[in-house]
Amino acid sequence: MNSVCIVGRLTKDVQERRTQNGTPVVSFTLAVDRRKKEDGADFIPCIAWDKSAETIARYVHKGDMFGVTGYIQTDRKSTRLNSS
């Protein structure tokens, strides 16, 4: 089972884009603190589609605490969290 839930702060404002067939999509990065503050944070790239993308673009802004649930998808270049 591939399921993940993370909470962090948005590193910058998101911009809604549309695919060629009109599907809304946003990509954003969450800064997730490690257990000890002095250990820093992990920066998790995320993608949201459809209604979730529209809602995130409208209501979530840089610095906001934000939680996502979804699944992890990896490729040769990066690891991404796709929110649901």
**What is the band of 2 on the pLDDT scale with cuts at 50, 70, 90?**
confident
Cα→Cα distances 17→20, 28, 37, 48, 56, Å: 10, 12, 34, 11, 12
Q: What is the pLDDT of residues 17-30, one digit of tens each?
A: 999 999 999 999 99
CA distances from 59 to 20, 55, 62 (A): 24, 6, 10
Q: With a cut of 60, say whether residue 3 has pLDDT above it.
A: yes
pLDDT tens digit sequence for 27-52 = 999 999 998 888 999 999 999 999 99
SS3 81: strand
Predicted confidence band at 84 (pLDDT cuts at 50, 70, 90)?
A: low
